Chains A and B, each alone.
Chain A
Amino acid sequence: MNAHALLTRLRGQVPLLVTAVLLVSMFSVGSVQYDGFFSGQVVLNLLIDNAFLLVVAVGMTFVVLTGGIDLSVGAVVALSTMVSAWLVEQHGWPPLLVIPLVLLMGTAGGWLMGWIIHVFEIQPFIVTLAGMFLARGLCYTISVESISITDPQYTAMAQTRIPLGDLFVSPSALIALLVVAAGFVVLHYTRLGRNVYALGGSEQSALLMGLPVQRTKTTVYAISGFCSALGGVLLTFYMLSGYGLHAVGLELDAIAAVVIGGTLLTGGSGYLLGTLLGVLVLGLIQTVISFQGTLSSWWTRIVIGALLFVFIVLQRLITARRR
């Protein structure tokens, strides 16, 4: 391999490396600064507290890799919690029926948005924005109040702790990690996954190479819809309620995690592992601020904002150099 090719290849990894370094250094600083910070459980808690975000961000990664965006995810999460709570609590449906139904609903919604985006050649931004209003609005047709869930199967999922030596994780965290693993396999070892990258690299080329552009696009939004619905299910385990105001702004957190994880917003470059790191970075910021104790939680937003700026500029520099 020549030196130039090696350099080009490494350049794609720079954002990922930066995020990894950031994560390790944040954790080290926290460990030095605060008592009790340096423990495996703090790391596992990151996963437990952010399981739903991680799942949503996996779906978002697929969409962003094609060069698109999905603004509806937060609202779909809220709608999923709402439908779950409504059917389980007020209609007495069994959770084992409700959960697949909710997942199907999210997938279908995503598929429909993808179909509209492709067939009518509309910006993903505007289509998913419409989807966001629609899903959020539908929440309130069910109820304007929060519906709390008392179903024993849900509470069991909320309270179960799976021991790992002295430490523990929640079932939701494991589900989220499974989703990451599945997403990784799909992205790197299936034609669908490679078509996602190709589409992000150049849609025109993908079309001329005879790749199934329409199917890939609709599938990607369907995956994002599925992940949002699953994120909603995990959030009901975590909050034990359905509410139209759940997960407000979650789409932005998911996009932030994807970007901080090194995926280019223009598509075609990025890794699911980066998204995992991105979610952990966001979680760690919150953890540090709660350990600090005196700062208001809004500082989380400020730090995320600053980080986003840095990463977007970094992306810009990398893509500019590439030309």
Chain B
Amino acid sequence: MRQQPVLEVRGIRKEFPGVVALDGVDFRLFPGEVHALMGENGAGKSTLIKVLTGVHPSDGGEVVLAGERVRIAGPLQAQQAGISTVYQEVNLCPNLSVAENIFIGREPRRFGLIDWPAMRRRAAELVRELELDVDVSAPLNSYSIAVQQLVAIVRAVDVSAKVLILDEPTSSLDRDEVRQLFAVMRRLRDQGVAILFVSHFLDQVYEICDRMTVLRNGRLEGEYLTSELGQVELVSRMIGAELAGLDQLGGGKRRERTAPTGPAFLQADRLARRGAVEPYDLDIRPGEVIGLAGLLGSGRTEAARLLFGADQSDGGTLRIEGTVTALRSPRDAIARGIAFCSENRKTEGLVGELTVRENIVLALQAARGWTRPLSRTAQDAYALKWIRALDIRPGNPEALVRNLSGGNQQKVLLARWLITDPKLLILDEPTRGIDIGAKAEIQKLVANLAEEGMAVLFISAELEEVLRLSHRVGVLRDHRMVAQLDNDGGLTPERVMATIASGAHA
């Protein structure tokens, strides 16, 4: 006998120009459960969350909260109705103290003025309840993202303890931080809070969630108990077909490959930048995929940025095709055939206000110079070719990039660089925050590009992925490249992890 759902959504519909993001979706959330919202990128997860939190008004359907129909007109109304959200990017004010971030907008007052001591005391109590070790009067930006996220949860639960939505909360957390987050989630669930959890990590979903709702292409695929739906089945529901070659997602099977020989395209010799990365050596040959593994903040991105001229090295030398070269700017690097897909696709890569077509031709146009504009026909041809090659959805070259899902945005970014036909492609977390289907496609694409002779530097937090693709794996730890391991078939994720942990050849 289950009780009544605390939140029920019936037949919700949402359209963006050129895209139907949600098409008659139903969804139920019960008190005291952790519920996963699953689906590929573009399936409508983010849109559903934004409708529930009042960021986007819905175009049809109804939201029933604790038995009553509600209209959610904005974030404030959502909070007042009892729905709080913690997003992937921590949406708090880094300049304010922890206590203020928990209480802003609802500060305790005496005689009309803010009662600071009471606020700090109550914030400290809330933080202690969830067994966090946080000084509430310190500014928020003195803590790690993980702690900031927990503070956001403290705030969300204290604002309204009925429904808590966690949108990709774990994507920038390390293992211990995830464990801490899950402990907090379990404690809240036992208190009767309904938690909606969105994550791309299937293991995490199976570890913490009781039930799940699967969306596909903006439609409801089904609602399942976690215990009754296996991982492979779940993936096939998300993708919508018994995907041929699903095994290649499983991590077991690897591509047969031989490491290319011959002169290196790029050679880094004791290349370094103070405070970012210690001196490291690295050779990359045409047709070779080099993986960079290491924990978040271990210096993977920093090492790669030196190879793209995004930061200046202050030690060592860089040879490109045998010639000593100083890359003063990304422009230099691009001119020498190096492309860099940054991990921050929103802030450092794509222009959301431009269309898919415009984003795709951007780098090529820049390389040609503004005096030689690409004709519209050529632009359309390029855009269509890459939309088809990478299966970018929706397949409309004139759709605005900001209306695309994360995985499809990533593909647009890839297309932009591939169109310039680079000799070395640096991919920084190309699969982060995107779904498993798109992940597999991007991996396949990387492997194919390497086979055609492109050198690839592949940075990822997921070891299985790194091992599946790379000929060699550079391991970073504390801003130092501690080892380069040949991926000759005997290399296991465990051995890479041991190397990361011990800081030496294991």
What is the interface of chain A, defined by CB distance below 8 A to chain B?
Answer: 1-2, 4-9, 12, 185, 188-191, 194-195, 197-198, 200-202, 204-212, 268-269, 322
Contact = CB atoms under 8 A, between A and B. Distances in A.
A227 B107 CA distance: 27
A241 B109 CA distance: 44
Nearest to A188: B114
A77 to B, nearest CB: 30
B91 A209 contact: yes
Interface stretch (B134-142, B215-223, B364-372, B462-470): B134-142
B96 A194 contact: yes
Contacts of A188: 114
Nearest to B115: A189
B82 to A, nearest CB: 12
A4 B75 contact: no
Given A9-B138, A191-B107, A197-B96, 16 more contacts: A1-B135, A2-B135, A2-B138, A8-B142, A191-B104, A194-B96, A197-B93, A198-B100, A200-B95, A202-B93, A208-B87, A209-B92, A209-B104, A210-B75, A210-B159, A212-B76
Contact of A210 (B79, B92, B107): B79
Contacts of A201: 93-96
B27 to A, nearest CB: 21
A185 B113 contact: yes
Contact of A5 (B95, B112, B138, B155): B138
Most A CB within 10 A of own CB, among B95, B96, B112: B95
Contacts of A2: 135, 138
A200 B105 CA distance: 15
Nearest to B103: A194
Nearest to A7: B142
Interface string B122-155: 0000000000000101110111000000000001
B85 interface: yes
Most A CB within 10 A of own CB, among B85, B92, B109: B92
For chain B, which range describes its interface: under 10, 10 to 19, 20 to 34, or 35 or more residues? 35 or more
22 contacts: A1-B135, A190-B112, A191-B105, A194-B96, A195-B104, A197-B93, A201-B95, A202-B94, A205-B90, A205-B93, A207-B75, A208-B53, A208-B75, A208-B85, A208-B91, A209-B75, A209-B93, A210-B79, A210-B80, A211-B104, A212-B76, A269-B95
A209 B105 contact: yes
Secondary structure type dominating chain B contacts:
loop
A205 B100 CA distance: 13
B138 A1 contact: yes
Nearest to A270: B95
A5 B104 contact: no
Contacts of B90: 205
Contacts of A185: 113
B100 A5 contact: no
B127 to A, nearest CB: 14
B194 to A, nearest CB: 19
Contacts of A200: 95
Contacts of A211: 76, 104-105
Contacts of A8: 138-139, 141-142
A12 B139 CA distance: 10
Contacts of B93: 197-198, 201-202, 205-206, 209, 268
Contact of B113 (A190, A204, A207): A190
* A-B residue pairs, 10 tightest by C-beta: A201-B93, A5-B138, A210-B76, A8-B142, A201-B95, A268-B95, A189-B113, A5-B142, A205-B91, A208-B91
Contacts of A269: 95
A5 B135 contact: yes
A198 B104 contact: yes
Contacts of B96: 194, 197-198, 201
Most B CB within 10 A of own CB, among A5, A6, A9, A206: A5
Nearest to A323: B141
A205 B55 CA distance: 12
A268 B159 CA distance: 23
B295 to A, nearest CB: 19
B74 to A, nearest CB: 8
Given A8-B138, A209-B104, A190 B114 contact: yes
Nearest to A189: B113
A173 B91 CA distance: 42
A195 B93 CA distance: 10
Nearest to B54: A210
B160 to A, nearest CB: 10
Contacts of A12: 95, 139
Nearest to B110: A189
Nearest to A204: B91
Given A200-B95, A202-B93, A209-B75, A194 B142 contact: no
A250 B159 CA distance: 44
B178 to A, nearest CB: 22
A192 to B, nearest CB: 10
B85 A194 contact: no
A123 to B, nearest CB: 16
A189 B109 CA distance: 9
A210 B104 CA distance: 9
Contacts of B143: 5
A1 B143 CA distance: 12
Nearest to B111: A189
A211 B100 CA distance: 13
A211 B106 CA distance: 9
Contacts of A1: 135, 137-138
Nearest to A202: B93
A253 B91 CA distance: 35
Interface in B162-193: none
B138 A194 contact: no
Contacts of B138: 1-2, 5-6, 8-9
B501 to A, nearest CB: 24
B36 to A, nearest CB: 22
Contacts of B85: 208
B490 to A, nearest CB: 40
A70 B230 CA distance: 59
A88 B363 CA distance: 64
Contacts of B53: 208
A269 B75 CA distance: 25
B114 A191 contact: yes
Given A201-B95, A204-B91, A194 B113 contact: no
Interface in B65-101: 74-76, 78-80, 85, 87, 90-96, 100
B139 A9 contact: yes
Contacts of B155: 209
B165 to A, nearest CB: 12
A197 B78 CA distance: 23
Contacts of B141: 8, 322
Nearest to B156: A209
Nearest to A185: B113
Contact of B142 (A9, A204, A209, A268): A9
A210 B137 CA distance: 22
Contacts of A212: 76
Nearest to B53: A208
Contact of A194 (B55, B76, B100, B139): B100
A211 B91 CA distance: 12
A194 B104 contact: yes
A188 B87 CA distance: 28
Contacts of B137: 1
Contact of B105 (A4, A5, A9, A210): A210
A81 B300 CA distance: 61
